Structure 1
């Protein structure tokens, strides 16, 4: 169910549970600020999720409350994952949904990295 980005952080969300080691994930990268792993329901041949380790509901929440080291670390992690997976030359798409209208389903900031084929237009018209 989509969430309202203004809601408080829910410690029982699936990404919080992955971060605590309660649920498995197929990790591709991890550091002090971020965790990147394969999506369990991929929407492209390659579909990676990158999440900050802190309890942030959305991009807006993260940009308002995270400290500079967390912000830099998370953004660097997204770029590093794309480079390490060889996605820069062929291209890839980043997507971060925020709130109800965007259909955000998990109340933890996450960036989708889509790649592995030509992805077509951003939105269906």
Structure 2
């Protein structure tokens, strides 16, 4: 689940040791955060964007993977999987946020993905 990677990147960036610190920053209960970690609940778009802003992650990428995590039907899951593959096919390797920050700069939203640049800050 990509959202867990996002949460872990935020936790690392803030040097937090407990998820309840993340929950406090997001203004949510620790139970909701636990459910998000388990995949039974999801971050809202605003919560995901907050985390992206805080760690310098690309907002569009975060929203794509949030939608992928939320997808319920097989068809939707496959569509999001194909979108992720298209990103990977352009030299972007998995959008792993293990190093703590991910930034993708685009010329414009309508430009093809092949004109995007990926920077991973470690």
Structure with the larger strand share: 1
Return the TM-score normalized by structure 1.
0.32
Structure with the larger helix share: 2
Return the TM-score normalized by structure 2.
0.32
